[in-house]
Amino acid sequence: MAVVLESRLRRMQVFNLPHESFCRAQCACTKLALTVIAENPRTGERAPKHLTKRIPGSLTLLALERKGGLANAVLEVPELEAAVRAGHVRVLEQTAEPSQVPSADASMSTGASMSAAPPPPAAPPQSAASPNAGGVAAQVKEP
């Protein structure tokens, strides 16, 4: 789950996630149990018949919405591919699936350090009463 999508339209968009293109690694369809009345054509008898159907999911993007935490398989859906090509949806971030990320054992054997770089220093907060609060440089004239 490493894709962030952004809607570029001022209207809601709904994309169907068909089983054939979206559910390759793991099925994400909803299973629905149905009971129908089936008639035996030979005898004319009617009896309940239980069926299980797979209902594909959908992805809804509201107007100008950013939606994150989506699976990479979303980018293989034909409707979404067409929307990206047309400029209706933008892919903001896409990272590799966990299976494609090198393991920690591989980096340790090469001697790479696992320590992270320290975060950059934070800028000092500016008070609302300071003359430079609006971001305009103040000029001081000496008499």
137 phi and psi, to 5 degrees? -70, 130
Q: Which helix (H) or strand (E) holds 83?
A: helix 78-86
pLDDT tens-place values along the chain, 143 residues long: 589 999 999 999 999 988 888 887 778 888 999 999 999 999 999 999 999 988 888 899 999 999 998 888 888 899 999 999 999 999 988 777 655 444 444 444 444 444 444 555 555 555 444 444 444 444 555 55
- Distance between CA atoms of 74 and 67, rounded to whole angstroms? 12
Residue 22 confidence (pLDDT): 86
> What is the structure's pLDDT at 35?
94
User: Per the confidence metrics, is the pTM higher than 0.85?
Assistant: no
Sign of CA dihedral 84, 89, 95, 100: negative
> Looking at residue 119, what is its pLDDT?
53
Comparing CA positions, the residue from 17, 3, 97, 121 lying closest to residue 60 is: 17
The CA distances from residue 99 to 75, 111, 129, in Å, are: 17, 22, 52
Structure confidence at residue 61 (pLDDT): 94
Query: Look-up: residue for tokens 């971030």?
Result: 93
